[in-house]
Amino acid sequence: MDLTTKYLGLTLRSPLVASASPLTGTVGGVRRLAAAGVGAVVLPSLFEEQLKAEDERDAWLADAHANGHAEARGGYLPDPVLGNRPHQYLDLIKRAVDQAPIPVIASLNGVSPGGWTDYAWAIEQAGASAIELNVYYLPGDPLVPAREAERRYTEILTTVKAVVNIPVAVKLSPFFSSLGEMAVVLDHAGADGLVLFNRFMQTDIDPETFTVSTGFRLSTPGEASLPRSWIRLLRGKVRCSLAATTGVETWTDVAAYLLAGADAVMTTSALLRHGPAYATELINGLAVWMQRKGFATVADLRGLLSAEAGLAVPGRPGYLDAIEQATHAYGGSEVIS
Ligand SMILES: Cc1cc2nc3c(=O)[nH]c(=O)nc-3n(C[C@H](O)[C@H](O)[C@H](O)COP(=O)(O)O)c2cc1C
User: Considering only CA atoms, which residue is closest to atom 23 of ligand 1?
Assistant: 246
DSSP code per residue over 5-53: EEETTEEESSSEEE-SSGGGSSHHHHHHHHHTT-SEEEEEEEEHHHHHH
Helices (H), the chain: 27-35, 48-66, 85-99, 117-125, 146-163, 179-188, 225-234, 251-260, 269-274, 278-293, 298-301, 316-329, 333-336
- Whether 267 lines ligand 1, by a CB cut-off of 6 Å, is yes
Please report how many Cα atoms fall inside a 13 Å half-sphere around the Cα of residue 164, on the Cβ side: 32
pTM for this structure?
Answer: 0.87
Calculate the alpha carbon distances from 125 to 8, 43, 147, 158 in Å. Answer: 18, 16, 34, 19
Contact 108, 161 (CB under 8 A): no
User: Considering only CA atoms, which residue is closest to atom 28 of ligand 1?
Assistant: 21
Q: Looking at ligand 1, which atom is closest to the CA of residue 42? A: 17
- Whether 19 lines ligand 1, by a CB cut-off of 6 Å, is yes
Q: What is the pLDDT of residue 110?
A: 80
- Whether 216 lines ligand 1, by a CB cut-off of 6 Å, is yes
Give the residue, out of 16, 17, 19, with the most ligand 1 atoms within 8 A of its beta carbon, to mutate for a pocket test: 19
Q: How far apart are CA 282 and CA 273, in angstroms?
A: 13
Helix or strand holding residue 212 (H, E): strand 211-215
3-state secondary structure of 195: strand
User: Considering only CA atoms, which residue is closest to atom 5 of ligand 1?
Assistant: 21
Distance from the alpha carbon of residue 322 to the mean position of ligand 1, in angstroms: 32
Give the residue, out of 16, 17, 21, with the most ligand 1 atoms within 8 A of its beta carbon, to mutate for a pocket test: 21
End-to-end Cα, the chain, rounded Å: 53
Reference 38, options 54, 50, 55, 21; nearest CA is 21
Preceding peptide of 47 cis, ω within 30°: no
Distance from the alpha carbon of residue 22 to the mean position of ligand 1, in angstroms: 9
- Whether 20 lines ligand 1, by a CB cut-off of 6 Å, is yes
The pLDDT tens digits along the chain (337 residues) read 899 999 999 999 999 999 999 999 999 999 999 999 999 999 999 987 666 666 665 555 555 555 544 443 333 333 333 346 788 999 999 999 999 999 999 999 887 767 677 789 999 999 999 999 998 777 778 888 889 889 999 999 999 999 999 999 999 999 999 999 999 999 999 999 999 999 877 788 989 999 988 777 899 999 999 999 999 999 999 999 999 999 999 999 999 999 999 999 999 999 999 999 999 999 999 999 999 999 999 999 999 999 999 765 555 556 667 777 777 777 765 555 4
Q: What is the pLDDT of residue 83?
A: 47
Distance from the alpha carbon of residue 66 to the mean position of ligand 1, in angstroms: 42
Distance from the alpha carbon of residue 124 to the mean position of ligand 1, in angstroms: 22
Q: Looking at ligand 1, which atom is closest to the CA of residue 271? A: 26
- Whether 269 lines ligand 1, by a CB cut-off of 6 Å, is yes
Write the single-letter amino acid at 292. Answer: R
Q: What is the pLDDT of residue 49?
A: 67
User: Considering only CA atoms, which residue is closest to atom 1 of ligand 1?
Assistant: 21
Q: How far apart are CA 261 and CA 306, in angstroms?
A: 6
Distance from the alpha carbon of residue 133 to the mean position of ligand 1, in angstroms: 13
Distance from the alpha carbon of residue 218 to the mean position of ligand 1, in angstroms: 9
- Whether 45 lines ligand 1, by a CB cut-off of 6 Å, is yes
- Whether 219 lines ligand 1, by a CB cut-off of 6 Å, is yes
Contact 25, 8 (CB under 8 A): no
